[in-house]
Amino acid sequence: MGNNKFKILIVEDETNIKSFIKANLETSDYQVLCAETCELGMMMYASHHPDLILLDLGLPDRDGMSLIQEVRETDTVPIIVLSARSNERDKVEALDLGANDYITKPFGTEELLARIRAVLRSHRHSEEDESSPDGKFRLQDLLIDYDTRQVFVGKEEIDLTQTEYNIMAFLSVHAGKVLTYAAIIQAVWGYSDYGSVKKLQVNMKNIRKKMGVTPGEKRYIINELGVGYRMLAEDEA
């Protein structure tokens, strides 16, 4: 095993995929543990206390969703789902149960490693008070000053409404993590109604326009279609 302080548990029953991920993680100096079933995954999690779990959903004994539920009863260890299921409903369910990210197979090595770094970084800062974080957030030429509630792109201050700022601040505190529409709506408005998703999408469109981001451009914030939004982490810049 490597000297990297991060220990990753892979819960995956397909030998080729598991071996491929394990080899790439070890090359990047992560410590790697493997399990082929939900039951063995829970045993390995309980005994080894990994820093992150990579989880397949289609496991031979149980659906991987049940592992997310069990872990989330007591722990906030990051969980990234790696699944062939591309259905929006599965993505939303996994994220709402507590998964930190969802990557659809097949995926590239660099994408996987970048998402792992992003989730680990986000988790390190998760103890901060997300409702009123202190300090500053920087991504590319974007600067968010939490103390003054100001947002800058380059040297230009972006004139955001209170709601638009609250959306940006919430996404930035969880940079690297996919946040579902429901999670963002609850954090920003505190309630959900029939038009909540549309209201969020309108606010996001206004934010992008004010920041000079063209439609479809993956700068600062990624739109996970049908699922939610993800603020890019520094490693993905």
> Can you tell me whether residue 60 is helix, strand or coil?
coil
Over pLDDT 90: what percentage of the chain? Answer: 57
Q: Which residue's entry shows tokens 């063209």?
A: 214
Give the whole-angstrom CA distance, residue 115 versus residue 176.
Answer: 7
pLDDT at 25: 95
pLDDT tens digits for 80-125?
Answer: 999 988 888 899 999 989 898 999 998 899 999 999 998 888 776 6
pTM here? 0.66
SS3 string, 143-200, reads EEECCCCEEEECCEEECCCHHHHHHHHHHHHCCCCCEEHHHHHHHHHCCCCCCHHHHH
- 106 prior amide bond cis, ω within 30: yes
> 122: which 2 tokens?
């986000």
Cβ–Cβ < 8 Å for 81, 55: yes
Degrees, nearest 5: CA angle 152-153-156: 70
Give the whole-angstrom CA distance, residue 174 versus residue 160.
Answer: 19
Cβ–Cβ < 8 Å for 61, 42: no
Does residue 3 register a pLDDT over 50?
Answer: no
pLDDT tens digits for 120-176?
Answer: 887 766 545 444 556 889 999 999 998 888 999 999 999 999 889 999 999 998 898
> 6: which 2 tokens?
């991060």
Give the whole-angstrom CA distance, residue 201 versus residue 227.
Answer: 12
Instruction: Return the number of other C-beta atoms located less than 10 Å from residue 142's C-beta.
Output: 21
> What are phi and psi for residue 124, nearest 5 degrees?
-60, -30
Give the whole-angstrom CA distance, residue 21 versus residue 12.
Answer: 10
Give the whole-angstrom CA distance, residue 26 versus residue 110.
Answer: 14
Q: How confident is the model at residue 236 (pLDDT cuts 50, 70, 90)?
A: low
Cβ–Cβ < 8 Å for 192, 199: no
Q: Which residue's entry shows tokens 């220990």?
A: 7
Share the mean pLDDT of the chain. 88
